[in-house]
Amino acid sequence: MNRDLKAFKWFIKTQILKDPFNPAYATFKVTSRCNLHCTFCSPDYYSGKLGEGSTEIIKRIIDNLRYSSIVVLSFEGGEPTLRNDILELLEYAHDGSFYVMLTTNGYRLNDEDFLVKLADRIDFLHYSIDEYHWNVKALENLCKFRQYGLKVNVQTVVTRYNLHKLEEKVKKVRECNYKIVILPAIDYPESKVKLSPDPVELYEVMSDLKRKYGATINNSWGFINALIGKTRIKRVVSYAISIYPNGDLPYPDDINGKIVGNLAIEKLNDILKKPV
């Protein structure tokens, strides 16, 4: 089904008919291997613990999503470019059924041949850049992606140690007319290193940057104000799903959910019809 038609139907069903079981965004973790073991990341997403489906299984999962309400299909990990077949999989998904996104730490983005092929297979490049990915220098050459026709959104993790460097990153992103989303590091209970920034300090910095740079920063004012409790983030119906590398579908999410089906053997529409 054409992705624009899907988007229109999704709007009618969710915003007018108020259908809560109509997801539009799929986070597809095609691998749980990663070339980095970032302190702020859960080991589940870089240790290989979640496994990795074969090329045939991943394609079967994509097929079982095509005629669902999913409009945006985001290939994530781990680090998805570690898969030798990632370009083949992106090409398979990029047939007009979805807006295809790739989230990467960028270590293959210095390969010009890879970039040329990638540009034909995705609609958006989601590029994670920060000190903990050891790739901050990538900001110096960020605008180069324009020559390949890539639309870029930068993601950066902010900690108590790099908060003061945030504005220079926003400036670099704005120079390229891209956007940036800022994610505060979270200290998990088992974390030995405490990286989470002070909420008040983070609020002050992000408020100042939002006023200066406006839409360059993807974070909403609601998100920023919620950092210090000025507004509460209401619990709302989620229109996103997460998919594990073997096709397992956790519900309602990959943190608090239980497995309700497997997209390698079932269509998403059939899974959504099951009683919760």
Q: Which residues, including other chains, have CB under 8 Å from residue 135's CB and lie 6 or more apart?
A: 105, 106, 107, 129
**Separation between Cα atoms, residue 85 and residue 74, nearest integer Å:** 16
| 275 torsion bin: left (phi>0), alpha (psi -120 to 50), beta (else) | beta
Residue 101 pairs in a beta bridge with 74, 124
**Cα torsion 26, 32, 33, 37: sign:** positive
Contact 228, 203 (CB under 8 A): yes
* pLDDT value at residue 233: 53
* pLDDT value at residue 232: 60
* pLDDT value at residue 167: 97
Q: What is the pLDDT along the chain (276 residues), one digit of tens a residue?
A: 799 999 999 899 888 888 877 899 999 999 989 888 877 777 666 777 787 899 999 999 999 999 999 999 999 988 999 999 999 999 999 999 999 999 999 999 989 999 999 999 999 999 999 998 899 999 999 999 999 999 999 999 999 999 999 999 999 999 999 999 999 988 766 666 789 999 999 999 999 999 999 999 999 999 999 999 886 655 445 688 999 999 999 987 777 778 999 999 999 999 988 876
